[in-house]
Amino acid sequence: MIERFHDRREAGQLLAVRLEAYRDQPDAVVLALPRGGVPVGYEVATALNLPLDVFIVRKLGFPSQPELAMGAIAEGGARVLNDEIIASLNISPEVIEGVAAAEERELERRVRAYRDLPSPPRVNRKTVILVDDGLATGATMRAAALAARHLGARRIVAAVPVGAAECVAELRGLCDEVVCLDIPHPLYAIGCHYEEFDQVSDEEVRELLERVRHSAAGFSGYR
């Protein structure tokens, strides 16, 4: 068991070791969940010589408790709802739709901010490695997996440095493979498992994507 990662960069490098089987695969692509997943995904893509793109997913937070995920939405129209939380808090459909509409606007803003093309990544018949910096509720990764499947991905791999046991178990029912370096019991917060866990800015996301675009792997044959 890994006690703590120094930062997202180290976590990505360690994750790449576990994903070595995908190195140089012509039909594989790394899709990072912004913003925290992008520095991790950058290290994975660089180490494995694979293309990197972002896959925009937005958590649907309960209005009075934004960190509590009612569900998530992703590019391609996928939506995941946490029926247990919705029922226990008696959340109305109107509240859900209001939050979803606001997050849809933010999703579209990030698409415009991070890439030139507004369409989702081309993943039809590809192996998609979905990367984030951790799994707390798992809602965003589940939405990403569902969206990637809807877009025609042939194989879906969820890859994270740290995750809650129940989230990892749920993902195994949605993905072809789940790679998680550390599954602490219990998991209180993702940031507790990093020595450095600063917020990732839009500018850092764009910079990392630009680096990959000009690398050997780049986007050749991807878009």
- What are the pLDDT digits (tens) for 106-159? 999 999 989 877 788 889 999 999 999 999 989 899 999 999 998 999 999 999
- Structural domain contains residue 71: no
Return all residues near 22 (Cβ < 8 A) that are at least 6 apart. Answer: 28, 48, 50, 127, 129, 157
With a pLDDT cut of 70, the percent of the chain lying above it is 95
Could you tell me which residue, 219 or 124, shows the higher pLDDT? 124
| Average predicted confidence (pLDDT) for the chain | 91
- Structural domain contains residue 72: no
Q: What integer pLDDT is reported at residue 219 of this predicted model?
A: 44
Q: What integer pLDDT is reported at residue 27 of this predicted model?
A: 96
What backbone phi and psi angles, to 5 degrees, belong to 50?
-120, 155
Q: What is the pLDDT of residues 182-204, one digit of tens each?
A: 999 888 899 999 999 999 999 99
- Structural domain contains residue 156: yes
- Structural domain contains residue 39: yes
**Full domain range(s) for residue 33:** 8-56+119-213
Q: What is the pLDDT of residues 138-147, one digit of tens each?
A: 989 999 999 9
pLDDT band at 68 (very low <50, low <70, confident <90, very high): confident
The CA distance from 220 to 214, in Å, is: 10
The CA distance from 35 to 55, in Å, is: 10
User: How many independent structural domains does the chain possess?
Assistant: 1
pLDDT at 6 over 90: yes
- Structural domain contains residue 29: yes
45's tokens:
């893509």
CATH of residue 139 = 3.40.50.2020
Residue 45 has, within 13 A of its CA and on its CB side, a CA count of 33
- Structural domain contains residue 155: yes
- Structural domain contains residue 144: yes
- Structural domain contains residue 194: yes
